Amino acid sequence: MVDPLLAQRVLPDVSLVHGEGVVWDAGRARLLFVDIPEGRILDADVTTGEVRSVSVPGTVGAVHPCDEPGALVIADSDGIALVRGGQVERLSGFLADRPDVRMNDANVDPAGRYIAGSMAFGATPGAAHLWRLDPDGGLHTLLDDLTISNGIDWSADGTRCFFVDSPTERVDVFDYDLTTGTLSGRRTFADTSAIPGIPDGLTLDADGGVWVAFFGGSRIQRFAPDGSQDVTVELPVSKVTSCCFGGPDLTELYISTSTEGLSSEERAAQPDAGGVFRAVTGHRGRRGALFAVPKGSGS
Ligand code: BGC
Ligand code: CA
């Protein structure tokens, strides 16, 4: 077992209630992330520390860059939307009549489709789904009977999809049909029940390693392609929510954290909870895909 690495806080002015969803926007060399309950989308230059933020109505679970420069796709309280010039343009409003459910983590598949999951505010078992929004604007249900739909990412060739439904305490892997955007053959990639906390966001590196945030576990854990544990990155805060590789050569691991569910004593003992962290691990990430904005959706 390798000694754990320590992550350092970056962006000292950023303190989030429920920080989530770090994503490296390689085209603009900026880090995107969200503060879910505050409905805030943040966009930072990690070199200068400059941070911009846009607020949207309700909650925002995830944000990703698009193939249209300047546009962002978000998973928000009502479903899936674009943000253009600070304005929210609805793509799909499938949660508009579900005030008990919000969108959570999401990602863009290697073909530019948006894959986004939900959770009930109270984490009601079985109330969550995973959806797919295609470049033709069509919405499809990929998985149902989930509880906290969380991290999702693909192998480099797009044939396997790694996915977390947090309370299962597993990282699962599916076969992924990149032509149709469908999942099959669900199986366990890694059983995480012996690791503190529950699995949350995840990202794959260039060697097929799977980096998983542990909510309540003060760590990011790397799993080798065979599912065995190797590198651990430790944080001085317990609620670790997501990670992504960024920086000019994709060798910096950025990590979001949260204050969700911390008691006032825990909050006082973790002054950096809700901050963004960075670790240099010796591993390199991959450039993420861009969401293919449906044709005819404004602009
Ligand atoms: C959700 C949290 C939840 C956590 C559990 C996050 O993605 O936003 O509300 O408590 O996952 O891992
Ligand atoms: Ca998450």
Mutate to test the pocket of ligand 1, among 20, 77, 166 (most ligand atoms within 8 A of CB): 166
Share above pLDDT 70 across residues of the chain, in percent, rounded to a whole number: 99
Task: From 17, 63, 152, 200, give the residue whose CB has the most ligand 1 atoms within 8 Å, as the site to mutate.
Answer: 200
In sequence order, the β-bridge partners of residue 188 are: 172
Please report where in the chains the tokens 């960075």 appear, as a residue.
Answer: 278
**Tens of pLDDT, residues 54-98:** 999 999 999 999 999 999 999 999 999 999 999 999 999 999 999
Catalytic positions are 200
216 CB contacts (<8 Å, ≥6 apart)? 196, 197, 198, 238, 239
> Looking at the predicted structure, is the pLDDT value of residue 297 above 80?
no
User: For position 295, what pLDDT does the model report?
Assistant: 83
Read off the pLDDT of each residue in 158-169 and give the average, rounded to a whole number.
98
| Ligand 1 pocket, residues with Cβ under 6 angstroms | 20, 36, 104-105, 148, 150, 166, 198, 200, 215, 241, 260
Quick one: average pLDDT of 22-36?
A: 98
Q: Please tell me the distance between residue 148's alpha carbon and the centre of ligand 1 in angstroms.
A: 7
Sketch the domain layout of the chain as residue ranges: 5-280
Please give the average per-residue pLDDT across 113-125, as a whole number: 97
- Supply the residue whose CA is at minimum distance from atom 12 of ligand 1: 200
Query: What separation in Å is there between the alpha carbon of 248 and the centre of ligand 1?
Result: 29
By alpha-carbon position, which residue is closest to atom 11 of ligand 1? 200
- What is the edge-to-edge ordering of all strands in the sheet holding 252-257? 8-10, 276-280, 252-257, 240-246
Residue 237, pLDDT above cutoff 60? yes
Query: Sorting pLDDT into bands at 50, 70 and 90, what band is 4?
Result: confident
pLDDT given at position 186: 98
- Mean per-residue pLDDT for 222-249? 98
Determine how many CB atoms are found less than 10 A away from the CB of residue 177: 13
Q: How far apart are CA 188 and CA 162, in angstroms?
A: 10
Q: How confident is the model at residue 145 (pLDDT cuts 50, 70, 90)?
A: very high
Q: What is the mean pLDDT of residues 238-265?
A: 98
Q: What is the predicted pLDDT for the residue at 296?
A: 77
- Mean pLDDT, the chain, rounded, equals 97
Ligand 1: atom nearest CA of 242 is: 7
Rg (CA), the chain: 17
**Overall size of the chain counted in residues:** 299
Superfamily per CATH, domain 5-280: TolB, C-terminal domain (2.120.10.30)
For residue 96, what are the contacts with CB-CB under 8 A and spacing of at least 6? 78, 79
Position 290 pLDDT exceeds 70? yes
Q: How confident is the model at residue 3 (pLDDT cuts 50, 70, 90)?
A: confident
